[in-house]
Structure 1
């Protein structure tokens, strides 16, 4: 079976007002969207439910993070159970900003992934290397080390609810983009690693998407690569061009 194209929009801590987010929802609601694409947007947590209520039903929402505990004395955290109870279907885990700014380890990301799946959520699992690691030829090694704890924590059947987002850290928000050949190589290596560590079926069926300064100008060429199954979009998801990225596979 062909893998369904997936486009996610990570709003991060933007924009600053509810009105601006409702305006973004209206842009999507009024747009003609390729119905073969799964579309998910991730606003800040406080806006998840209002935005979900404002959006058309074929656009889903995702939390940008969650904790691994169901409940308890964890001030400031949101549990997977709370997201599930609020009918939020997806959560982004392991984003490079969580790893670098908030010092989340790959083991913690795996723990969160296990907890999210147990609560019934689907996971957008982020991996990727820094510029120094890329220049040292360590891209595959870094991605594999980030994936290893997750693979150990999951059962083969769990992978149907995982979307792997390859996001080279050096390309996030910098305007630099991995070339189509670079991105394809990283995606193919990741797919081959999943095939060897879990099964060929999992490797071939798991969606692997690209993130890193994706725009309306570069999305079409990236989308033609055989192992790129979509995008996780940052800044461009806040602009009208996000619709063009969603529709990048249309002629």
Structure 2
């Protein structure tokens, strides 16, 4: 094991366990040129990434069903304090009538995600950009979301992408069911915030290939200030920040720069 990386991870956990910063997935060919060390075995990529960052959002669970041994393996390969956010399977969200998603929700939640134990972060329920808000149907969907699995508390975040969701009524509805809107920094999707939410979930999607860190250091400094505000004060709360999409090849550098500016990485 890389001792210095392990020490950095311990510092992160001790420094501010409420902050998690990462990327989407850990398998991406361009990262083998600018993030992973030359010659690193593909089987070691999760082990390496989890010691440079503090979280990963898993996209594979959106498309496929994984089994308990896979989640247990991820838990075993990552250090203490690391977290995974899981995208729920698309069969639960890509449907005309959300109120009928009960079986798909249960199938995903009971697929073995509890094997991640304390490393299970929020579950991301991602909806199609064409899915507009139908308050009654959407509330019926939220009522189906379980609050725990195998005794493990669950946190839910809603990645809604249609502009009809950008209303105080939607924010209030989500809060009623203890769900948190994803705050998306994107030119295509609405940025929805809930200042009273139990945690914050940010997806930064404007990375530029011409900037080494995707976002400029000045822009990252602004995000860092927002993170500090969220995790400080009289009501400190967890925050998850993912550099994702956009110029994806720059995502790891952006996440590491944010950790550096937060004082959570050497």
TM-score by length of 1: 0.55
Q: Which runs of 5+ in 2 are unaligned?
A: 1-15, 30-40, 94-101, 208-212, 232-238
Tell me how large the CA RMSD over aligned residues is: 4.4
Q: Which position in structure 2 is the counterpart of 1:244?
A: 257
1:10 lines up with 2:11 in the alignment: no
Q: Which position in structure 2 is the counterpart of 1:151?
A: 175
- Rounded to whole Å, the distance in 1 between the matches of 2:203 and 2:154 is 18
Q: Which position in structure 2 is the counterpart of 1:26?
A: 48
Partner-residue secondary structure (3-state), 2:76: helix
Q: Which runs of 5+ in 1 are unaligned?
A: 34-38, 155-161, 173-177, 195-202
Matches within 5 A, 1:1-251: 4-11=18-25, 15=28, 20=42, 22-29=44-51, 31=52, 39-43=54-58, 44-45=60-61, 46=66, 48-65=71-88, 74=104, 77-80=107-110, 82-85=112-115, 87=117, 89-95=120-126, 98-100=127-129, 106-107=138-139, 110-111=142-143, 114-115=145-146, 117-119=147-149, 120-127=152-159, 133=163, 142-154=166-178, 165-168=182-185, 170=187, 187=193, 190-191=194-195, 194=196, 206-213=198-205, 216=213, 217=216, 218-225=219-226, 226-227=229-230, 229-235=239-245, 236=248, 239-241=251-253, 242-250=255-263
Q: Measure how far apart 1:231 and its partner are.
A: 1.6
Q: Measure how far apart 1:213 and its partner are.
A: 1.8
Query: Is the 8 Å Cα contact of residues 223 and 249 (structure 1) preserved in structure 2?
Result: yes
Query: Is the 8 Å Cα contact of residues 23 and 55 (structure 2) preserved in structure 1?
Result: yes
Query: Is the 8 Å Cα contact of residues 212 and 233 (structure 1) preserved in structure 2?
Result: yes
For the structure 1 residues 10 and 152, does the alpha-carbon distance in structure 2 shift closer, same or farther, using more than 3 Å as the test? Answer: same
For the structure 1 residues 78 and 219, does the alpha-carbon distance in structure 2 shift closer, same or farther, using more than 3 Å as the test? Answer: same
Query: Is the 8 Å Cα contact of residues 24 and 238 (structure 1) preserved in structure 2?
Result: no
Larger radius of gyration: 2
- Rounded to whole Å, the distance in 1 between the matches of 2:138 and 2:42 is 34
Q: Measure how far apart 1:166 and its partner are.
A: 1.0
Partner-residue secondary structure (3-state), 1:9: strand
TM-score by length of 2: 0.52
Partner-residue secondary structure (3-state), 2:143: helix
Partner-residue secondary structure (3-state), 1:149: helix
- Rounded to whole Å, the distance in 2 between the matches of 1:245 and 1:25 is 20
Q: Measure how far apart 1:26 and its partner are.
A: 0.9
Normalized per residue, the structure richer in helix is 1
Query: Is the 8 Å Cα contact of residues 128 and 169 (structure 1) preserved in structure 2?
Result: no
